[in-house]
A = this chain, B = another copy of it.
Amino acid sequence: MATPKTSKQELLAVLNSVLGKSAGSPIALHEPNIGDHENELVAKCLSSGWVSSVGQYITEFETGLAKFTKAAHVIAIVNGTAALHLALHAVGVKPGDEVIVPTLSFVATANSVSHCGAIPHFVDSDGDALGLDPIALRAHLSANTSIKDNQLFNTKTGRRISALVPMHTFGHPMQIAKLVEVASEFKLTIVEDAAESLGSFVGNAHTGTFGKCGVLSFNGNKTITTGGGGAILTNDAELAKKIRHLATTAKLAHDWEYIHDAVAFNYRMPNINAALGCAQLDRLDSFLEAKRKLATKYSEAFAECDTLSFVAEPNGTTSNYWLNTIRLNTPDLQTRDELLSAARADGYLCRPAWNLLHTLPMYLDAPRANLPVAQKLWQSLINIPSSARHCLGDI
A155 on the B face (CB < 8 A): no
* Chain B: minimal CB distance from A39 (Å): 5
Task: Give every chain B residue within 8 A of A264 (Cβ-Cβ).
Answer: 107, 111
A31 to B351, CA, bound (A): 45
Interface residues of A in 121-136 (CB under 8 A from B): none
A294 to B46, CA, bound (A): 25
B352 touches A256 (CB 8 A): yes
A249 to B108, CA, bound (A): 8
A360 to B46, CA, bound (A): 35
A32 to B82, CA, bound (A): 26
A32 touches B52 (CB 8 A): yes
Interface size of A by Cβ–Cβ distance < 8 Å? 66
B220 touches A51 (CB 8 A): yes
Q: Which residue in chain B gives the minimum CB-CB distance to A108?
A: B266
B266 touches A276 (CB 8 A): no
B276 touches A51 (CB 8 A): yes
Interface residues of A in 54-91 (CB under 8 A from B): 54, 78-82
A39 touches B34 (CB 8 A): no
Task: Give every chain B residue within 8 A of A43 (Cβ-Cβ).
Answer: 39, 42-43
Interface residues of A in 198-233 (CB under 8 A from B): 219-221, 225, 227-228
* Chain B: minimal CB distance from A328 (Å): 15
Task: Give every chain B residue within 8 A of A270 (Cβ-Cβ).
Answer: 220, 227-228, 273
* Chain B: minimal CB distance from A279 (Å): 9
A395 on the B face (CB < 8 A): no
* Chain B: minimal CB distance from A75 (Å): 15
A74 to B317, CA, bound (A): 46
A49 on the B face (CB < 8 A): yes
B95 touches A52 (CB 8 A): no
Task: Give every chain B residue within 8 A of A263 (Cβ-Cβ).
Answer: 111, 114-115, 362
Task: Give every chain B residue within 8 A of A79 (Cβ-Cβ).
Answer: 78, 266
A52 touches B362 (CB 8 A): no
A52 touches B221 (CB 8 A): yes
B225 touches A52 (CB 8 A): yes
**Interface pairs (25), CB distance under 8 Å:** A31-B49, A33-B49, A34-B49, A42-B42, A42-B43, A46-B276, A51-B220, A52-B220, A52-B227, A78-B228, A82-B266, A95-B117, A107-B249, A107-B251, A107-B264, A228-B273, A255-B340, A256-B340, A256-B350, A256-B352, A258-B352, A258-B354, A258-B355, A262-B362, A263-B362
